[in-house]
Each structure stands twice: as C-alpha cells, then as structure tokens.
A and B are shown apart, each in its own frame.
Chain A
Amino acid sequence: MDDFIAARSQMALSLGFHIIFSCIGMVMPFFMAVAHYYWLRTDNIVYKNVTKAWSKGVAIFFATGAVSGTVLSFELGLLWPEFMKHAGPIFGMPFSLEGTAFFIEAIALGFFLYGWDRFNKWFHWFTGVIVGVSGLASGILVVAANAWMNSPAGFDFVNGQYINIDPIEAMFNDAWFSQALHMTIAAFVATGFAVAGVHALMILRGQNVLFHTKSFTIAAIFGCVAAILQPLSGDISAKDVALRQPAKLAAMEAHFHTEKSAPLIVGGIPDEKNKKVDYAIKLPGFLSFLAHGDFESEVTGLDKIPDENQPPVAITHYAFQIMVGMGMAMMLVAILYFLALWKKKNWLTSPWLLKLFVAATPLGFIAVEAGWTVTEVGRQPWIIHNVMRTADAVTPMPGIAYSFYLFSAVYVSLAIIVIFMLYRQIKMVGTLYDKPE
C-alpha cells in the first residue's frame, strides 16, 4: 500500500471510529437528563433504572471516545505534519476552546457518574446536563475547524506564506454554521434511532417491557424530531456547498456538464471516463433548484474544473446518495411515529412499528459516515480548499501502511469488545437495573 493512501485511510478510519462515540457522547446525556428529570419529578423507579442503565453505557462510550479523540489530536501531526505546521495557528482557536469543553465534560461526568446519593439531587441532575452541553460545544467547535478546511478564512496566502492570521475570523468561516448545524442534528438522529432500535427489539422480545418502553419513547422522540429537521438543514448545506465548493457539489451529484435547469440525478452509476451517469432517474430542473433555489439557474459541472482539481466522483456520489436515502427513510419512519402519537395510538403497541424501528437501528450512523465521506472525499485533492494539496501535507516517514494495519487491528478489536460489553449490559437489564420486586 502506498504511504499516502495509507495515511488517508488511517485518518479516515480513526475519524470514522471516533465520530460514532462522539455522537453518542454528545446526545446520550440529554436522553439521560430527561429520564432523570422524570425520576426526580414522578418518583417512578423505572426512570431511575433507565438513567442508571444508560449511564453505564455512556461511561463505556465516553472512555472509548476520549481515547480515540486523544489519538486524533496526535494523528493530525503524525500523518499531516506539513498541514499542521501552517494550519495549526490558524484553525487552532476552536481546538483550544474545545480543550476547555472537554475538561468541563470530564469533570461533570465525574460528578454525574459517581454522584448518586451524595449531592443535592438537582445539582446532580444539572451536572448531567452540563455533560451534554459541553459535549455539544466540543462537537460544534471541532466541526468549525473542519469547516475551515472547506472554506479557509482568517489569513492571506501570499507567495506560499500564510500572513495576517486572524484565528477568530478563521473559526467563524463561511461554512461553520451550516456544517455545525447539520452535524449536531445528525448526532441526534443517529443516536436517537440507534438507541430506539435496541429498545424496540427488547420490547418485541417481551423483556422488561415497561423499562424498555420508557427508554424507547425518549430516544424515539428525540431521534424523530431531528430526523424531520435534518433534510431541511441538509438543504442549507447543499446550497452552501454549491456556493463555496462547486467541484464538491458536482461530484456529489455526478454532474459532469455545466448547464441551465440542471436535472437532479437519483441513483445511477457514474461513468467517469465517458462523463455520464448510467441507469439514473433524472428530475429536470431540480438540481438547479436545490443548489440555487431557482429551477432555471446554471449549475457548474465538472467540465469547468481542471482535471487535477477534481474529486473522486463515484465515491462522493454514492456516499451522497446513501446519506440522502437514509435521511428520507428515517424521515418517513419519523412521520409515521408522530402520526401514531397523535392520531393512531393503537399503532404504538403494534409490532410492525417497532419492527420498523429495529430495522432503522443502523441507518443514522450509516448516514453520518456517508456524510463525512461526502465532505472529506469531496474536498479532495485539497486538504485546505484551494490552498494546500493533501499530497503535499503527508508525513515524509515511509511505512505508514504498517501503522494503518496496526490501528485497523486495534480499532476492530475495540469495536468488538464494545459491542460485546453493550450486549452484556442489555442482557443484564433484568438483573441489574430492572429487578422484579
């Protein structure tokens, strides 16, 4: 394996791994806070059990998220030293603020996990909320750093020199808001559907039904509200990308030729050599509408982008289709669920709705991974859009392939252990958290 490809793969692997844990770390505290709130308010012991069972899971995820994040902060330098040498001082502001957010999160988690029956109960509840708020803040900050790579700001690039650095301007670059909004909602969608799916399965199996129903309801409501908002925020992102990174948009849509009232391509197999898409459904004018809000407007195609600046089309296109497909599917499930809540109460207890949720368990996380693939692969060949090429940023050290194999092995084993432990947690609910009285 070529060192450059190995470095990219290792980065993608580490981030793709970390993102799962960080989504959960950002969102679960809010689920717990709701359950915890109901416990304090209603004295219904089931809510306490739910809170405690979830907090065990969160501790496991938190630790894994924290170590994989620590690895990332070193990997930026280990794999991309030339990038960090120049980018560090410019896009470092969100990272330095993030340090504070992490710290507060770690402290609040200490209070929350170990604080049962030792503090004022509302103080204890509040520390749980702080875990969530600071987790969200760190997510938003790190995404702002990534947005800077898509939409560089806060410096002047003159003769290969980075001058007039302004880290605050860099943090509030043009892409930060749309990306941060979309990512935050994505975390709620993904975690909500994953957690709801697991509890739905347990309800179907008839184990600790009350316990699992309460957990399911909290997770499903969060996930479904977010699933309905997500396509709206995706639309904001798409319009933003059309403006900032026409090459990325063209790759997402496999849009080879610049044209007016461009069609939206659904599905299909992009043929990069002959610059066409086979077997696709085309909705005339819709791409123009999505990108610029006007059915007639012109959308830049890949023909306007010099060959050496074009991102890989197929991967970006497939990834985008997957994300949108998952998004639509989850939105549908969400609509059905709200219909059930408001009008068709009898659906709530019928197995088909629960089965739908079980089927949707992984969709959110698949969409998250696909979305990041769109963002990252679609930015290629740039590491800093239009400023520095990824190939120029990579470490000179040879043999990165071995490091990639090593980290792959470690992450695969970790994933297996985490799944195994989660399985045990769920299996033990009846004995540990929801004991028959």
Chain B
Amino acid sequence: MLYVVITFLWASILLYLLLGGADFGAGIIELFTSRKNKAVTRKTLYGAIGPIWEANHMWLIIAIVILFVGFPVIYSTMSIHLHIPLTIMLLGIIARGTAFTFRHYDAVVDDMQHLYNTIFAISSFLTPLFLGIIAGSAVSGHIDPQADTFLSAYIFSWLHWFSVSVGLFTVAICGFLASVYLIGETNNDQDRLRFAHKAQFFNIAAVICGTLVFIAAYIEHIPLIDWVFGNWVGRIAIISATLSLVWMWSLLYQGKLALLRPLAGFQVTMILLTTTYKHFPNIVILKGGGYLSLLEHSGQEKTMEALALALLIGSVFILPALFYLIYSFQKKPLEHAAKH
C-alpha cells in the first residue's frame, strides 16, 4: 500500500508539472510577448484551458494532502525550513488564480483588465520559479535541522545558486510546455509560427538554465552528475528525451502537429524521472548527509492503507470525468465563450 501512495504522489507531481506547468507557461508567454500580440495569445490560451484550468491545479492539492497525511515528518520539516519560499509561492497562487478568473468574469471591460493582466503575467512567472526553488532546496542538502541562526535556518535553506537555477529551469520548462501546447490550438499559420518561435525560445532557455543547474550543483558539491548519468535509468531517460526533442523539432518543421504534445510531455516526464530515480526514496536531503525517506518516514500502516484506498477510489471517479471533460472541449473548442 505504501508503494501505491508513493506512485500517486509521484504521478500528481508529474501531472501538476505538465498540466499546471503548461498553464503557468501560458502566463509566462504573455510576459514575453510583444504588446500587439498579447491579445491573440490570451484568446488562444483561454480557449485552450478555460474549462480545465481549475482541475489542473488540483494536482498540487492532491500532492500536498498525500504529503501531510502519509509523510507528516517530511511535510512539517519542509514547512518549517522552506517557510519563506512556500509563502511567496502561495502569494503567487492567490494572485494568479484570482487574476485569471477576474479578467474573464468582470462584467465591465475597462482599465481594470490591465491590472488583472499584469498581475496574471507576473505571478505566472513567480509561482513556478518558487516551486522550482522549493524542489531544488529539498534535494540540495542545504536544509539544516540543527541550524541556530535565522539566516542559516530559514534563508540559506533555500537561497543558493542551485535552487535558484532549478527555479529558472522550471520556468523555462513551463514556457516550453505551454508553447508546444498552444501550437496545437491555433487555426492559422501565422499564429502557429509565432508559438513555434516561442517554443524554440523556451527550449533554448531550458538548455541554458539546465546548464546553470549543473554548474551550480558542481560549485555547491551536489552530486547531480552522478544522479543523472550514474545509472542506466538516468542515461536512457536523458538519451531518449534528447532524441525525442530532435524528432519533435523535425515534425514541427514538416508541419505534422499530432505528436508534438505527447513528445513534449515525454521529455518532461523523463527529466522528472532522472532527477528523482537515483535518490529515491529520499526526497529531502539534509545538511550533513541526513535524509528524509518516503519509506522510513511514512505514517503508520493503517493510515497508509486508508490513504491508498481513498486515492484509488478517488481516481475511479476523477479520471473518467476528467478525460471526458478534456475530450469534449478538444472535440469542439470554445469559440464564443466570452459571450456567454
């Protein structure tokens, strides 16, 4: 039952990264789009994610509930030492979620739109940045339960080159996912080309940020190279991700769009796999080599059984409904949604 819970945890993090990530990315694209093209981006975005955006963000709730029910020590340690980035991320979530809704449901369209748009775009950038920082900090070995100064306990636990570069990398990934996603939502060549350029931009950004991550890991003595390349799973994942990237670009230039999304999703899945595989089951690595392990720091057996059961029963209801929702709006996209 423990492994059922862990699988759900991993899957909800992955799905949040893919679906929530594409959603954040759409806001990031807005931030990097020239003023005259912003409106098109916004409309395409709304048509693509309007009906499912609320559901996309539920994966985070699922992950956090699994963590505090099943792995309370991990949840409370992270809550204490990563209090500040978690708070900033929360502020980002508040700002973004409300701005997204307000701009579509405000009964009067006037200057307030400008405010909503600005808040939306900026928080779309900040939230994944801090999500990445949190993830980076968890494995960076900077969290120090013995720390006795404010700075070492609550600031340097997350503020260092490695986690910041992981944050930037996460932002780039989100932008990439969103651009690829939006390519499939366009209905003319001009828009398609624009999103293809965006995808290219974020792809390059991801490569640069990824390099930064490796450099920072090297400086801060984090054995990232070993995690990624020191085992067969990591090597195969990285190689297949790279090959699929090449394949994706060649498909794009031939104008074949059907496989773009699955391929981008595959690449991100492989990245998450390599970075979590090697140090499974330890999801938090502490200063001085200690760690918090999913296997050793789980709740008592009855709790894990009940949790696994709740998740399994939940997915019987959720997954079919979610697929039907996505399918219905894929088949017949929103056209005049704003008018209703």
A-side residues, CB < 8 A to B, are: 52, 56, 59-60, 62-64, 66-71, 73-78, 81-82, 84-90, 92-93, 95-100, 102-104, 106-111, 113-114, 116, 118-119, 163, 165-168, 395-399, 403, 406, 410, 414, 417, 421, 424-425, 427-428, 432
Q: A85-B73, A424-B107 in contact; A114/B51 too (CB < 8 A)?
A: yes
Set of chain B residues within 8 Å of A395, measured between Cβ atoms? 79-80, 83
Given A110-B51, A395-B83, are A103 and B62 also a contact pair (CB < 8 Å)? yes
| CB of A76, distance to nearest CB on chain B (Å) | 7
User: Which of B65, B153, B154, B329 lies in contact with A73, CB distance below 8 A?
Assistant: B65
Which one of B23-31, B209-217, B231-239, B309-317 contacts A? Answer: B309-317
Q: Known contacts being A60-B105, A104-B318, A424-B107, is A77 close to B328, with CB within 8 Å?
A: no
From A81, A99, A114, A118, give the contact of B79 (CB < 8 A): A81
Nearest to A93 among chain B residues (CB) is B306
From known contacts A167-B306, A427-B107, infer whether A81 and B314 are also in contact, taking CB-CB under 8 Å.
no
Cβ of A89 to closest chain B Cβ, rounded Å: 3
Residues of A within 8 A of B101 (CB): 59-60, 62-64
Jot down 23 A-B pairs with beta carbons below 8 A, ordered by A.
Answer: A52-B340, A62-B101, A63-B97, A64-B98, A67-B93, A67-B98, A68-B94, A76-B68, A84-B75, A92-B70, A96-B69, A100-B313, A102-B58, A103-B62, A104-B317, A110-B54, A396-B80, A397-B153, A417-B102, A424-B107, A424-B108, A427-B107, A428-B107
Which residues of chain B have C-beta atoms less than 8 A from A71's C-beta?
90, 93-94
In the complex, chain B residues whose CB is within 8 Å of the CB of A397: 80, 83, 153-154
CA A398 to CA B147, docked complex, whole Å: 14
Q: Which residues of B contact A97 (CB under 8 A)?
A: 310, 314
- A423 CB to closest chain B CB (Å) equals 9
Contact B303 A89 (CB under 8 A): yes
Chain B stretch 71-118: residues in CB contact (< 8 A) with chain A: 72-73, 75-80, 83, 86-87, 90-91, 93-94, 97-98, 100-102, 104-108
Interface residues of B in 26-54 (CB under 8 A from A): 50-52, 54
Contact present for B90 and A103 (CB under 8 Å): no
Instruction: Report the nearest B residue to A116, measured CB to CB.
Output: B340
A98 to B55, CA, bound (A): 14
How far does the alpha carbon of A106 sit from the alpha carbon of B77 in the complex, in Å? Answer: 30
| Contacts between the two chains (Cβ within 8 Å), count | 208
The one of B80, B87, B311 in contact with A403, judged by C-beta atoms closer than 8 angstroms, is B87
Apart from A74-B90, A77-B76, list 20 A-B contacts with CB within 8 A: A56-B107, A63-B100, A66-B54, A70-B90, A77-B78, A78-B79, A84-B79, A88-B72, A89-B303, A92-B65, A95-B69, A99-B58, A99-B65, A104-B317, A110-B55, A111-B325, A113-B51, A116-B340, A165-B300, A406-B91
A165 and B303 within 8 A (CB): yes
Please state if B60 and A70 are interface contacts (CB–CB under 8 Å). Answer: yes
Q: Are B329 and A84 in contact (CB under 8 A)?
A: no
User: In the complex, A53 Cα to B100 Cα: how many Å?
Assistant: 19
Query: Which chain A residue has the least Cβ–Cβ distance from B89?
Result: A74
Flag if B72 contacts A86 (CB, 8 Å): yes
Q: Which of A75, A96, A107 contacts B322 (CB 8 A)?
A: A107
Counting chain A CB atoms within 10 Å of each CB, the highest count among B78, B80, B313 belongs to B80
Contact B90 A165 (CB under 8 A): no
Q: Is B337 an interface residue (CB 8 A)?
A: yes
Residues on the B chain within 8 Å of A56, using CB: 105, 107
Residues of A within 8 A of B60 (CB): 70
Q: Are B93 and A102 in contact (CB under 8 A)?
A: no
B165: min CB distance to chain A, Å:
24
Q: Which residues of A sit under 8 angstroms from B64, Cβ to Cβ?
A: 73-74
| Chain B interface bracket (under 10, 10 to 19, 20 to 34, 35 or more) | 35 or more
Q: Are B80 and A107 closer than 8 Å at their CB atoms?
A: no
Which residues of chain B have C-beta atoms less than 8 A from A168's C-beta?
306
Closest-by-CB residue of A relative to B50 is A114
| Interface residue from A74, A82, A89, A106 paired with B70 (Cβ < 8 Å) | A89
Enumerate chain B residues within 8 angstroms of A90, measured Cβ to Cβ: 303
Q: What CA separation (Å) do A89 and B307 show in the bound complex?
A: 9
Decide yes or no whether B253 CB sits under 8 A from chain A: no
A114 and B337 contact, CB distance less than 8 A: yes
Q: Which residue of chain B has its CB nearest to the CB of A96?
A: B310
Q: How far is the CB of B70 from chain A (nearest CB, A)?
A: 7
CB-defined contacts of B321 to chain A, threshold 8 Å: 104, 107-108
Nearest to A53 among chain B residues (CB) is B107
Please determine whether A78 and B65 come into contact, CB atoms closer than 8 angstroms.
Answer: no
The listed residue with most B CB atoms (<10 A of its CB), out of A73, A75, A116, is: A73
Taken together as a complex, chains A and B put the C-alpha atoms of A18 and B292 apart, in Å, by 32
Instruction: Report if A74-B55 is in contact (Cβ < 8 Å); known contacts: A110-B325, A414-B94.
Output: no
How far apart sit A82 and B73, CA to CA, in the bound complex (Å)? 9
Chain B contacts of A399 at CB under 8 A? 150
Q: Does B222 contact A (CB under 8 A)?
A: no
A90 to B307, CA, bound (A): 11
Q: Which residues of A contact B192 (CB under 8 A)?
A: none
- Cα A17 to Cα B339 in complex, Å, equals 31
Nearest Cβ on chain B to A139's Cβ, whole angstroms: 15
User: Residues of B contacting A75 with CB < 8 Å?
Assistant: 90
CB distance from B135 to the nearest CB of A (A): 15
Does any Cβ of A come within 8 Å of B299's Cβ? Answer: yes
Task: Determine whether the beta carbon of B72 is less than 8 Å from that of A114.
Answer: no
Chain A residues, Cβ within 8 Å of B54: 62-63, 66, 106, 109-110
- Docked complex Cα distance between A105 and B90 (Å): 22
Cβ–Cβ contact A166 & B302, under 8 A:
yes
Assembly CA distance A371 to B325 (angstroms): 38
| CA distance in complex: A364, B41 (Å) | 43
Given contacts A60-B105, A114-B337, contact A70 B69 (CB under 8 A): no
CA A116 – CA B150 in complex, angstroms? 54
Q: Once bound together, how far apart are the Cα atoms of A166 and B304, in whole Å? A: 10
Residue ID in chain B nearest A109 by CB atoms: B54
B303: chain A residues within 8 A (beta carbon) = 89-90, 92, 165, 167
* Top-4 shortest CB links A-B: A92-B69, A77-B79, A100-B314, A89-B299
User: Which residues from A are CB-within-8-Å of B314?
Assistant: 96-97, 99-100, 103
Q: What B residues does A427 contact at CB under 8 A?
A: 107
Least CB distance, B316 to chain A, in whole angstroms: 9
Contact of B69 among A89, A102, A107, A398 (CB under 8 A): A89
A38 → chain B, closest Cβ, in Å?
19
Residues of A contacting B325 with CB < 8 Å?
Answer: 107, 110-111
Q: Cβ of A414 and Cβ of B98 under 8 Å apart? A: yes
B61 part of interface (Cβ distance < 8 Å) = yes
Q: For the complex, is B57 an interface residue (Cβ under 8 Å from A)?
A: yes
Residue from A64, A77, A166 within 8 A of B75 (CB atoms): A77
Known A-B contacts A114-B337, A168-B306, A410-B94; A103 and B107 likewise in contact (beta carbons under 8 Å): no
In the complex, how many angstroms separate the beta carbon of B270 from the nearest chain A beta carbon?
26
